[in-house]
Amino acid sequence: MLDLVIRNGMVIDGTGDQRRPGDVGVRDGRIVAVGEIVEEALQEVDATGLVVTPGFVDIHTHFDAQVFWDTTLSPSPLHGVTTVIGGNCGFTIAPLEPDGADYLMRMLARVEGMPLTSLQEGVPWNWRTFGEYLDAIEGTLMPNAGFLVGHSALRRAVMGERSVGESASPDELQEMKDLLAESINAGGLGFSSSWAKTHNDAEGDAVPSRHASERELVELCSVLRDTGAVALEFIPTVDRFDESVYQLLTDMSVAADRPLNWNVIFANARQADVIEEKLQASNYAARQGGRVIALTAPMPAESRLCFESGFLLDTLHGWAEPMALPNQEKTALLADPVRRAELNEDAQQPSPFRGIARWERLTVGEVTKDELKHLEGRSIGDIAEELDQTPWDALCEIVVADDLKTGLYPPAAGDNDESWALRQALWNDDRCIIGASDAGAHLDFLATFNYSTYLLAAARDKKLMSLEAAVHKLTDAPARLYGLKHRGRIEQGWWADLVLFDPEKVAPEEIEVREDLPGGAWRLYGEAVGVRHVFINGEQAVEDGQFTDSRPGTLLRSGRDTEPVTALS
């Protein structure tokens, strides 16, 4: 007798092949039959009117801390995600020096938008090695999960406070290389790092990885060549790419003999030339034996700014230190007409995200004070005109009155026909991989955790891609890039990570605010429409949009749960 049979569904196997009617049989967590199945099972599911696909593989998450307070890794499995990869952008919480927890949690609170109270109250911080961290979460999670080894954590563990502001000595670099090799041997899937100007620590200083030389980056990547590691992830810059960036990405991939995915492209037709310029990094690397892949998001860029966290605002010229101030001092600065005028003058100077300083275009989202509720949904420009103030002064008065907690929304970038055509081209470009969910991070800033159901709905409604192709982009494509053994397809002998959804209805739900984090903190949250069942390793994880009590996820370790990957494979 089988453990599970899914009957009467339309099977889309993940390879891109056409759907076909059939049943899927499961025993001991693996698919044992696909087609017409007459054998009975302990559990039978009628999939009439539904498609049956492999579980979705999300290669860019930041669930490294959430694994301790929310073992479902919500809301990702509600959107059909059965496998997540954490440890991106160099931000892991292992390895950990004896006195390093405070720095790492405050850095994560600043750079990845994880509430500090949640990190303090919800994470035990009782490990030292990367292996000890993995052991602490083995067997506890709903989805399958693997983790890269983060550069900032490595640098902090070896160099301590000198990791910010100083170069590594030859001995320190060798110690980092040894620690990286040890972490990979314990199960780390690869190496991640960042040079992004948006990545600053709690003091407003560049995070440790941003102080690394090109030589340090390439030397660390070289460690992967002789290990079971499968992946490199890196943010080289938020500015334009030039030949020096092309060469660095190439050198990192060649040194590791692994594919490197860089983060991130949000499609905007106004930036089409810049995007193509960045994609040339793939062509450049291929000529030298490397492989460089761009991570691209399937939706327009929509974000929530908040002066309390200061994320992204701190990229404005001269704003890094002010946005790192304690809330009381930041409030005093914004309340002082002279000092805030100086701050606004700085904001108008050239910087990568200067466009967010067009204050009149911001819309007031959530406010916490009842007396400000009437402003929700209105633009700062309209409010300023009504009050006969400049947009900047009107904004500051609202933010100060709301104790810095106001949610402010810039217009979505790239939500026009030309940008959707560009997005379609990127989805079908071999130099790109779809992802960039950032699930587990930027909890008050982004709601891109729903990227999978968003892609399915957009591909259907805008007729941009067949369902078979969209499923392939969410399943087999990322699984093969990361060498995930027997995952990403519906195939006999492969793990039974399965999603059953209504192809005519699947979509993300509206985003809401949910106060369910340790320490009473809140997050942006959204469920899914049309996702009926999610199975992970043959066990039901989601039924009719609700989590079950099952925690069947495998902690994915390099070598044991992966197949060899090379830059040219």
Pick the closest to residue 440 from 114, 72, 77 (CA basis).
Answer: 114
What are the C-alpha distances in Å from 548 to residues 82, 241, 295? 14, 46, 31
With 90 as the cut, is the pLDDT of residue 290 above it? yes
pLDDT digits 0-9 by tens, 215-236:
999 999 999 998 999 999 999 9
Q: Write b or e for each residue in 359-388: b if 16 or more Cβ atoms lie within 10 A of its Cβ, otherwise e.
A: bbebbbbbbeeeeeeebeeebbbebbeeee
pTM for the whole structure: 0.92
CA–CA separation, 325 and 307 (whole Å): 11
pLDDT at 522: 87
Phi and psi for 40 in degrees, rounded to 5?
Answer: -80, 165
pLDDT digits 0-9 by tens, 52-67:
999 999 999 999 999 9
pLDDT at 301: 82
With 80 as the cut, is the pLDDT of residue 156 above it? yes
CA–CA separation, 403 and 254 (whole Å): 49
* Exposed / middle / buried, residue 98 (Cβ in 10 Å: 0-12, 13-18, 19+): exposed
Pick the closest to residue 561 from 24, 53, 83 (CA basis).
Answer: 83
432 contacts 297 by C-beta, under 8 angstroms: no
CA–CA separation, 94 and 125 (whole Å): 9
pLDDT digits 0-9 by tens, 470-508:
999 999 999 999 999 999 999 999 999 999 999 999 999
pLDDT digits 0-9 by tens, 386-403:
999 999 999 999 999 999
Identify any residues that bridge with 146 across adjacent strands, giving them in sequence order: 85
Domains of the chain are 56-303+413-485 (3.20.20.140), 313-409 (no CATH)
pLDDT at 302: 82
CA–CA separation, 321 and 325 (whole Å): 7
CA–CA separation, 278 and 101 (whole Å): 36
With 90 as the cut, is the pLDDT of residue 378 above it? yes
Quick one: average pLDDT of 250-267? 97
Contacts (Cβ under 8 Å, ≥6 apart) of 123: 65, 68, 69, 93, 105
105 contacts 119 by C-beta, under 8 angstroms: yes
pLDDT at 370: 96
Pick the closest to residue 6 from 497, 479, 470 (CA basis).
Answer: 497
